[in-house]
Amino acid sequence: MKIEKDKVVEINYTLKDKDGNVMDASNGQPLAYLHGHGNLIPGLEKELEGKEVGDKFTVTIPAAEAYGERNDALVQTGVPKEMFQGVDNLEVGMRFEAQTEQGMHSVEITEVTDEGVTVDGNHPLAGQDLTFDIEVMSVRDATEEELEHGHAHGAGGHQH
């Protein structure tokens, strides 16, 4: 059975940055996803299309087809410290959920000064080409419920 839209696929993967450092891996716990529903980064889903159980491959996904290029408009400087209620020690690297006009958005503190805080709303992997080692473990038809919900259920999938 080939990977195509509306199939539930389980993959083992290792994600590396451009220097070969392992950033994430399934570590024997395959990731289950519903193909064709935007649950993976676009470039990886495109590479998996048409593959079958047992296929192993390595692919580098350019930033534009992964988490996008960095967007300087998502960096905000001079945010008043009072905006971070209940946090005494603001430190670089802390992540917060910020309410924006587009809904909730994850931001990371990149600088703390007396004048205020700089936050970066780019995805941590934005602007990076990502290399994946992939092994296709299983492919099956999605259930009606999975199609309705737009993601895989059960082992390795999203739980409600």
pLDDT at 62: 97
The domains spanning 7-67+126-149 and 72-120 adopt the same CATH topology: no
Q: What is the pTM of this model?
A: 0.81
Domain 72-120, CATH 2.40.10.330 — does that match?
Answer: yes
Q: How far apart are CA 109 and CA 118, in angstroms?
A: 6
pLDDT at residue 105, rounded to an integer: 82
The DSSP letter of residue 143 is P
Domain ranges for the chain: 7-67+126-149, 72-120
- Per-residue pLDDT tens, the chain, 160 aa: give them: 999 999 999 999 999 999 999 999 999 899 999 999 999 999 999 999 999 999 999 999 999 999 999 999 999 999 999 888 888 899 999 999 877 777 888 899 999 999 899 999 999 999 999 999 999 999 999 999 999 999 999 765 554 4
pLDDT of residue 159: 44
- CATH code for the structural domain at 7-67+126-149: 3.10.50.40
3-state per-residue secondary structure call for 126-142: CCCCEEEEEEEEEEEEC
DSSP string, 79-114: E-GGGSTT-SS--TT-EEEEEETTEEEEEEEEEE-S
